Amino acid sequence: MGNQGQGKGGAGSGTKAPAGKSGGGGKGRAGSKGAAGGKGGKKAPAKKGGPGRRAFLLGGTVAVVGTVALARDELARLYWRLPGVERKRVEGVLDHKGAEWTAASRYNWRRADRPDDYVIDRVVIHVVQGSYASALRVFKDPGHGAAAHYVVRKDGHVAQMIRELDVAFHAGNRDMNERSIGIEHEGFVDRPQDFTPAMYAASARLTADICARYGIPVDREHIIGHVEVPGTDHTDPGPHWDWPRYMALVKKERAKLPPVG
């Protein structure tokens, strides 16, 4: 497993890599001569075809109101990110029904408010290079610097360690961490027997659930392996991970869920 997922490392294994570290205005006033009047003190006729001053002012007011509304919404969304302000978390709340909550160390992820501040559009598949118990142990270790949102055991049991709205340090790429949800799987990349039918089924249900909730397309562009993360040197889930089988299962599970929106 890599160290400090915000940097070069990541939560998944199968790697030989060392731990990573973490408009200008014009001249004069427009239309000034027309406004002064013509010969004999008569008023110059109004120009046709352009918006009047009232329309301009009203339009400007609408624009300003709209801008203020957007700014207010943005401030409300970012308020919790101010120093000393944190959005409340309820220990043990699950995003995926049937998972077991077991918290990762606070040093292995950072607070966020996804998908409001970062769009979630990827699922990253990892393999632990070890047991389910070892994955939980290192993700609870504040010195490890990395953790995934979920860990799937060989028998299909799922643990959630980080809320989906928060950013887990799992991919070894900051942009990917912010836009994705990471799923670890018990086992080793060079042992196909570790990828059991129960594991594939449970993981596919989890991924389908994530895709349904965030509107993520069920394809290999949006469901990727750790090895496919830009800039990573990890190899998981490895050559024995059965992508055709897995994607077929995800599509089957996704079809059971209601459409987005």
Closest CA to 95 of 249, 225, 213: 213
Query: Among this protein's residues, is 178 annotated catalytic?
Result: no
Maximum distance among all alpha carbons in the chain?
100
Q: Report CA torsion sign: 205, 206, 209, 215.
A: negative
Block residue for tokens 């142990």: 137
Q: Is 113 exposed, middle or buried (0-12, 13-18, 19+ CB in 10 A)?
A: middle
Return all residues near 216 (Cβ < 8 A) that are at least 6 apart.
120, 121, 122, 123, 210, 222, 223
User: What CA–CA distance (Å, rounded) separates 3 from 18?
Assistant: 8
Catalytic residue among 184, 186, 221, 253: 184
User: How many Å is the Cα radius of gyration of the chain?
Assistant: 27
Q: Which residues are catalytic?
A: 184
